[in-house]
Amino acid sequence: MIDKFMSGWGYAEGKLNRLVFECDTHEESMIVLNNALSRSDMRNVNYHTEKPYFNNKTNYVQYKNKEVYPNWYVLFEIGY
């Protein structure tokens, strides 16, 4: 996915900031996917079964897991 907020500055200056979340199970990946789709600051959210490749000249890629970002692996409930 592309993190719109973090793209274009800091380590991602002049680049797209891409987040790749590593999942152990299909259930985890569906939770992360749902959480990403529910956020307005994430776009181009995709699901892959193998590690994706990105051109480092145009992308700053961050690999995340449940030890670093545990909240992404918990299904967010949207309250209205």
Confidence band for 73, pLDDT divided at 50, 70 and 90:
very high
State pLDDT tens for residues 13-35. Answer: 999 999 999 999 999 999 999 99
> What is the reported pTM?
0.87
pLDDT band (50, 70, 90) for residue 76 = confident
Length of the chain as a residue count:
80
Q: Residue ranges per domain, the chain?
A: 2-73
Q: Looking at residue 80, what is its pLDDT?
A: 47
Report how far residue 46's alpha carbon sits from residue 77's, in angstroms, rounded to the nearest whole number. Answer: 21
Position 37 pLDDT exceeds 50 = yes
